[in-house]
Amino acid sequence: MTNVIEADGLHRTYSGGFEAVRGISFTVPRGEIFALLGTNGAGKTSTVELLEGLARPTGGTVRVLGHDPYAERAAVRPRIGMMLQEGGFPSDLTVAETVRMWAGCTTDARPVGEALDMVGLADRAKVRIKQLSGGERRRLDLALALLGRPEVLFLDEPTTGLDAEGRRDTWDLVRQLREGGATVLLTTHYLEEAESLADRLAIMHRGRIVTAGTPAEVTAARPARIRFTLPEGTGPAQLPLGLRAAADGRRVEIRTHELQDTLGELLGWAAASGVRLEGLDARSASLEEAFLEIASRAEAPLNTTDLEEVR
């Protein structure tokens, strides 16, 4: 499968010596949705700007569609779409006027009506920018990113400010773009978004990638959990010795890497003992738990053995 995004040993240092990106490497094949996650200040946006060709790397190399996006911008720019964290629009222009103006600077631009219809803004075409809500402005950002029918689409926090329905509509649109052959790299603070959309993802911390893979692979290393409440008269000490449980009164939590076996043992004991487990909830580890575990390292020294290259 052809890689359309390649980063190798990527560094970015700002004036004053702050190193925002510290030697990361990853690839994104054609037709994949790849999510870049991380805490605030982890280096996500700094990385995306290098991939978009908005800045030159301090070290390492970047290739997008086989070209250096900074040095060979003329070869790359017509084939990519970019949705930045915040767009700047003339407030007195209407939505349609803004898209029409942008289309005039775009190679083989979609018709204005088509672009607005894709993001659900067709009925707001005559509304001035200053009258749009924050969520509507985000949808306009997306419409402009899609104008040039991009092969590679960079989405930096694409659903910030959108309501639940708008977020789901955007997810559906991104999936349709992938089905049409587009490659998508997105950053997001919504972990449900990454879990739902991404074929693969990487989590950054302090400018480095600390874990990567499919959402299932990233969460697989974390234990599943089982929670329940024991009835009156039954204490945690009566649970089978093989179940390593933490208890707060009658409320019990079990962490396990063998969810099916552990749950089977628990339910077998409950049936044999005539015990009803109130509020029983068993689930695999979530991406949120993996993310929070990494975020908790924010004040701890970085252990370089945790680093993982994405291929």
Contact 61, 70 (CB under 8 A): no
Give the CA diameter of the chain: 75
Q: From CA 266, how far away is CA 238, in angstroms rounded?
A: 11
Amino acid at 249: G
Instruction: For residue 42, give every residue at least 6 positions away whose Cβ sits within 8 Å of its Cβ, in sequence order, or none.
Output: 204, 205, 206, 207
Is residue 77 pLDDT above 80, yes or no?
yes
| pLDDT confidence band for 239 (50 / 70 / 90) | very high
**Residue 310 in contact with residue 202, Cβ under 8 Å?**
yes
Enumerate domains of the chain plus CATH numbers: 3-90+150-169+178-219 (3.40.50.300), 223-284 (3.30.70)
CB-count burial class (<10 Å; 0-12, 13-18, 19+) for 68: middle
> Residue 42 corresponds to which tokens in the numbers above?
């982890």
First-to-last C-alpha distance (Å) of the chain: 12
- Specify the residue for token string 């707001």: 124
Q: Is the dihedral of CA 83, 44, 191, 211 positive or negative?
A: positive
Estimate to the nearest angstrom the gap between the alpha carbon of 209 and the chain centroid: 14
% of the chain with per-residue pLDDT over 70:
95
Could you tell me the pLDDT band of residue 174, with boundaries at 50, 70 and 90? very high
Q: What is the reported pLDDT for 304?
A: 38
Mean pLDDT of 64-73: 97
Examine the pLDDT at 309 and tell me if it is beyond 50. no
Structure tokens at 232: 């009156």
126 CB neighbour count, 10 Å cutoff: 9
Q: How far is Cα 58 from Cα 50, in angstroms, rounded to an integer? A: 10
CA angle at 89 for the pair 162 and 44, rounded to the nearest 5°: 55
Distances (CA, A) of 222 to 39, 197, 199, 306: 19, 21, 19, 14
How far is the CA of 223 from the CAs of 107, 271, 303, in angstroms?
Answer: 49, 25, 21
Residues facing residue 187 across a β-bridge: 36, 156
Q: What is the DSSP string of 60-109?
A: EEEEETTB-TTTTHHHHGGGEEEE-SS----TTSBHHHHHHHHHTTSTTP
Cα–Cα distances (Å) from 33 to 56, 109, 204, 309, in that order, read 24, 23, 17, 18
**pLDDT value of residue 302:** 43
Given a contact cutoff of 8 angstroms between Cβ atoms, the answer to whether 193 and 159 are in contact is yes
Closest CA to 190 of 209, 213, 172, 167: 167
H or E element, residue 246: strand 245-248
Put residue 167 in one of left, alpha, beta given phi > 0 → left and psi -120 to 50 → alpha. alpha
Q: Which of 44-53, 203-212, 214-223 has the lowest mean pLDDT?
A: 214-223
pLDDT tens digits along 138-160: 999 999 999 999 999 999 999 98
Read off the tokens for 263: 């749950």
Q: How far apart are CA 31 and CA 84, in angstroms?
A: 21
